[in-house]
Amino acid sequence: MSVPKHIAIIMDGNGRWAKKRFLPRVSGHVKGVSRVKEIVEYCSVLGVRYLTLFAFGRDNWKRPQEEVSFLMNLLSEQISKEFYKLHDKNVKIRFIGDRARLSTLIQEQMDSIEQLTSNNTAINLNIAIDYSGTYDIVQAVNKVIATNPNAPITEDDFSKYLLLYPDPNPDLFIRTSGESRISNFLLWQISYSECYFTEKLWPDFNKKALDIAIQWFNSRERRFGMISEQIQGVL
Ligand code: FPP
């Protein structure tokens, strides 16, 4: 079985997981965090080279203030304590998104864990915070304008200004919780990703669920605009 080089995940369904158990929504996020750790470590063991997780979208600021504060505190706590354990497991951590609206404390925590883990080699973990795909494209356009406003640009060169660069595009895109939307996560970068949608809620997405997603990925024929015979080498 071949393992995708890059997996991107929308970790959805924390709130519904909690609601089903008559718990406050935030306890779904707490359970979600423990799945993050499990899936990061499992991906590393499997040999996945890049894992990109959508932790907080630009539209998530519109949630009730208490939930936003809880999520920010949870992130801060994870970055300052738990992510050091990922460093011990040789995980390289990077954040993508607009840092300007985050607290100075979180920005400093992000900088320091990125610096600390920058030479790690087990797996590249990207965490998207205050991220959206449209934001990513617009910030890239603005950088292009600032650098070289008059010259035409190629697709390859443009992609160098996107926040995920220099990582390759995701091979497998997963969304949990039964929704079949992209919800403004990576847009440019998933142009040829295989998209897997599962009913499982994120707090229930365990190693076995990831195995099933990877098996499904292996059943797909990726043609990148070509025809089957070309991919199979008979043409
Ligand atoms: C979506 O579920 C989940 C989020 C908006 C937050 C995801 C955050 C975590 C899993 C925890 C923090 C992550 C890291 C990397 C430390 P939802 O609340 O939209 O669920 P619902 O659709 O059922 O309401």
Does a structural domain hold residue 40? yes
Sort residue 177 into left (φ over 0), alpha (ψ -120 to 50) or beta. Answer: left
Probe ligand 1: pick from 9, 10, 11, max atoms within 8 Å of CB?
A: 11
pLDDT digits (tens, 9 = 90+) for 177-187: 999 999 999 99
Rounded average pLDDT over 148-164: 95
Which residue among 14, 60, 88, 156 is the active-site one? 60
Cα 59 to averaged position of ligand 1 atoms, centre (Å):
13
Burial of 205 (0-12, 13-18, 19+ CB in 10 A): buried
CATH of the domain at 92: 3.40.1180.10
Does a structural domain hold residue 204? yes
Closest CA to 12 of 212, 199, 216, 208: 199
∠ CA 37-96-120, nearest 5°, is: 55
Active site residue 60: yes
Is 130 a pocket residue for ligand 1 (Cβ < 6 Å)?
A: no
For residue 131, the model assigns a pLDDT of 98
Does a structural domain hold residue 158? no
Token pair of 194 as six digits = 């295989």
For residue 149, the model assigns a pLDDT of 85
Is 32 a pocket residue for ligand 1 (Cβ < 6 Å)?
A: yes
Q: What is the extent of the structural domain holding 125? A: 6-133+167-231
Does a structural domain hold residue 148? no
pLDDT digits (tens, 9 = 90+) for 90-140: 999 999 999 999 999 999 999 999 999 999 999 999 999 999 999 999 999
Does a structural domain hold residue 161? no
Q: Which atom of ligand 1 is nearest to the CA of 79?
A: 16
Count of domains for the chain? 1
Nearest protein Cα to ligand 1, atom 11: 33
Does a structural domain hold residue 146? no
For residue 186, the model assigns a pLDDT of 98
Is 39 a pocket residue for ligand 1 (Cβ < 6 Å)?
A: no
pLDDT digits (tens, 9 = 90+) for 192-233: 999 999 999 999 999 999 999 999 999 998 889 998 888 888
pLDDT digits (tens, 9 = 90+) for 2-48: 999 999 999 999 999 999 999 999 999 999 999 999 999 999 999 99
Does a structural domain hold residue 147? no
Cα 23 to averaged position of ligand 1 atoms, centre (Å):
15
What phi, psi does 116 have (nearest 5°)? -60, -40
What phi, psi does 29 have (nearest 5°)? -65, -35
Is 12 a pocket residue for ligand 1 (Cβ < 6 Å)?
A: yes
3-state helix, strand, coil in the chain (%, to 5): 50, 15, 35
Does a structural domain hold residue 52? yes
Bridge-based pairing of strands 50-57 and 91-96 is unpaired
